[in-house]
Amino acid sequence: MMGCFLSLVEPVVIVSTVGNSFYGTALTLAVYNRTLELTGGQSDQAQALSSHFFLVNSCVTSLLSFVATALLGWLADRHGPRVLLVVPQIGYFLSKFFLLAFVLLHLPLSVLYVEGVVHGLCGGGPAFWGGVISLAALSSDQEQRSLKLNVVDFCSGVAGW
């Protein structure tokens, strides 16, 4: 019975959620290790510097996501809701690339602010979840829509969001 409620939205949600969980952990560890190096091993100062980085990065990403989501919503009205899935996934991929370059090339911490800008300009989480919900709603009958949205939310929870 559950098979009729699953579509292509659920695997995208699961893969994205698992990937973002690993990415969030890797980003936290990379930033903390770099700030620990910058502070000469002083863990209190490293923690303060890491917290400041995440505060600024979160603000930049959130503000840019707000603007980008409005633009992506306009594009999705004209080209379909998949725009709201594809563009944020490109942003997630580029963010992971910046983290990889940061770790492998020993780049300065400020490079990761570019990661936040790119992620935000691609719509980030708000655009992605807007696309997930719209595609889930469009892929279900009106009678089954609530169940479909709950299945998508369940898949997200199971994947570790």
Provide the 3-class DSSP secondary structure of residue 88. Answer: helix
CA 156 from centroid of its chain's CA atoms: 13
Domain assignment present for residue 6? The answer is no
Q: What domain count does the chain have?
A: 1
What is the Cα–Cα distance from 33 to 122, expressed in whole angstroms?
A: 27
What's this model's pTM, rounded to 2 decimal places? 0.84
The more confident residue out of 89 and 6 is 89
**59-71, pLDDT tens digit by residue?**
999 999 999 999 9
Domain assignment present for residue 84? The answer is yes
Domain assignment present for residue 83? The answer is yes
Domain assignment present for residue 94? The answer is yes
For residue 161, what pLDDT band results from cuts at 50, 70 and 90? low
**82-124, pLDDT tens digit by residue?**
898 899 999 999 999 999 999 999 999 999 999 999 999 999 9
Dump the DSSP string for 59-84.
HHHHHHHHHHHHHHHHHHHHH-TTHH
Q: Are 118 and 91 in contact (CB under 8 A)?
A: yes
Domain assignment present for residue 3? The answer is no
CA 137 from centroid of its chain's CA atoms: 21
Domain assignment present for residue 2? The answer is no
Range of the domain at 152: 14-158
Domain assignment present for residue 1? The answer is no
From 158, 126, 118, select the one nearest 13 (Cα to Cα). 158
Helix (H) or strand (E) segment spanning residue 91: helix 83-105
